Amino acid sequence: MPGFRRRRRSGAGLAEGIEIGATEGIGQDLFIQGFSDSPFRLIGVTNVKLTPHEAETIDVRGWLASIAPFTVPPGVALNAIDASGAVVYRFAGDRFENITAAYRTKLAASPRVAVAPPRIETGEAGYGYLLGPGWFEPDGGYRWIGKSAQATLGGAIAGQKLFVHGFCAPAQLAAGPLHLSVTPELAAEPATFTIDSCGGSFEFAVALPAALAGRPRFTVLLAVDRAGKIPPDTRELGLAIETMELSY
């Protein structure tokens, strides 16, 4: 089973954990019985994924959970290898084989890497290539934006909307509500939302122009009416965004 791994090393040069892992060749039974419960967390590993090719072989019909948390889009996988130091392993019965170079060649030859995914998990380093100006570095499972930021998604299906999920800090509302504008490419005008509570997360649904259906890539602009420092943080922060997803 190939696995994407980003090696994080201590001062002594020892691998401390796996940031991105992907597995190929484990099969349906092993996935359901020994993968889906995330046993890797018992050894401090929290982010292991199926490779895109392996995910297509897993039939989870009748399974109560979703396979989505264990998959990674082809473009994200390639970026994880090239930009984030991910490593790919194959499980060969009783051992792991490092097949990073061979699997990277396989990924790069796939036309699917040119299609942006329909979901961005902003806190995952592998999705960073889809985030344009205005984003800060990952901070757990999210990223802050400043007053504006740009992202790229793709593969929209007719009738889908863009869902933006995130949160803010209560101190940000001292001067009044925040206003978030979301402008998909080709949109005649932005969709604007008012945020008057930071007690939990928010989720806003944005209608997409019909012409975006089927396009492999399109941009989305996020804009907040004000940004500011949240002590002791010295950055000019707008909102924390966790995910952006095309869905119904």
Say if residue 125 is in the same domain as residue 215: yes
> Which pair of tokens denotes residue 129?
């290539």
Shortest CA distance to 83 belongs to which of 11, 136, 20? Answer: 20
* One-letter identity of residue 46: T
* One-letter identity of residue 159: G
Q: Residue 116: is its pLDDT beyond 90? A: yes
Say if residue 126 is in the same domain as residue 220: yes
Say if residue 90 is in the same domain as residue 177: no
Distances (CA, A) of 163 to 27, 131, 168, 191, 245: 32, 16, 16, 12, 5
Q: What is the pLDDT of residues 121-141, one digit of tens each?
A: 999 888 999 999 999 999 989
Residue at 102 is within a domain:
yes
Total structural domains in the chain?
Answer: 2
CA distance 224 to 167: 13
Strands (E), the chain: 7-9, 15-18, 21-23, 48-50, 89-91, 96-98, 119-121, 143-145, 148-153, 161-167, 178-184, 191-195, 201-207, 218-224, 239-247
Shortest CA distance to 49 belongs to which of 13, 83, 23, 77? Answer: 23
Residue at 2 is within a domain:
no
What percentage of the chain exceeds 90 in pLDDT? 60
**143-168 burial: b if 16+ Cβ within 10 Å, else e:** bbbbbbbbbbbbbbeeebbbbbbbbb
Position 5 scores a pLDDT of 38
- Mean pLDDT for all residues in the chain: 85
> Which pair of tokens denotes residue 186?
């080709």
Say if residue 132 is in the same domain as residue 234: yes
Structural domain containing residue 101:
7-114
Say if residue 21 is in the same domain as residue 91: yes
Say if residue 21 is in the same domain as residue 77: yes
What CATH number is associated with residue 233? Answer: 2.60.120.260
> Which of these ranges, 77-91, 104-118, 158-172, has the smallest mean pLDDT?
77-91
pTM: 0.84
Q: What is the pLDDT of residues 17-70, one digit of tens each?
A: 334 455 566 677 777 777 777 787 787 777 788 888 888 888 777 666 677 788
